[in-house]
Structure 1
Amino acid sequence: MIVGYAQNGLGKEALALFEQMKHEGMQPNKVTFTCVLSACAHSRLVDEGRCVFDSMCKDHDVTPTKEHYACMVDLLARAGCWADAELFINKMPIQPDSVVWMTLLGAARNHGYVEIGRRAFDLVVKLEPKNAAPYVLLSNTYAAADRKDELAKIRNEMKDAGVKKCLGAQLDRS
């Protein structure tokens, strides 16, 4: 149910069900927290998401995983809290993986934040140099911002790196 609420942007309903679940004595696990954090992200419930994340360790003895950290980055970035998202990543007690950086890159693309997207891109490519997805996301970011010179450069970088996009991936929307 929480996943269904999350996927449909019904974060408050997901949180209410989560609270009901706890009230009835059910102990949330890692998967439950991932779903609740995702619901908060899709509904831009930043304060609620932070509280849920903090309660994982404090109240429920659940150690956050990379997925939980990625959900928090998604939550902060979707809400436009860019400085908080980058600070959160930099303070993570585990090494951020490509999923975390791709999450930031995807959100930067959706909001048109080219500079943040480029920083995230550079970090993803260091971790996964043959992954076409960051090239596609950054290309789409440049195309949406009408930055044709950077778009041409990223296409050349992709070619020089020998990275091929998968069929169906889109390099620009023009």
Structure 2
Amino acid sequence: MSRRTRSFLGMTIILMLAAAGFIIRYDPSEAKYSIFREHRGQFDAVKSETLLLMDSLDERSDIGNTFIYSNNAAPPFHDSVNTELQDKIQQIAAWSRDSLDFVRYSRQDGKPLLRFVFDWEREHGPTYHIVYCASQSMVEQAYAAEPVKYKLTSLADGWYGIEIE
């Protein structure tokens, strides 16, 4: 074999190994959460306004699921959601290419649980949630009660990604 052929073969093998390493380490669920990483401030703003809104509506320690936003309902927003909060949620929906289906709020043991549910009908892959809760064990407890398998990913302090399998 000539020197040129060996060089070409060596470079080809290196490129194939690099590509294989990328494919093995690639986690498609991480790509889903890029909307959170790119627009975390907007998610935090929705969280803050939702917590204030829900605290003003109900003083009980536990609240069942309240749909703050549902793209399958008319009107899409809970009656008490003001236009500023509506605009923030609609912006997240636009950034998600309208795959944001629901924003749900509940409170369990006095702790708020806010869920952004994406791709409910699985048109673009598995359904996934971006969830805020101060307690990871509370998130795990809430999803353990659901009849689904899920994969939990920590995104930031109090924020989690949930991929429904």
**Does TM-score exceed 0.5, indicating one fold?**
no
* TM-score (normalizing by structure 2): 0.27
Pick 1 or 2: higher relative contact order, CA cutoff 8 A, min separation 6.
Answer: 2
Q: Which is higher, the Rg of structure 1 or of structure 2? A: 2
* Higher helix proportion: 1
* Higher strand proportion: 2
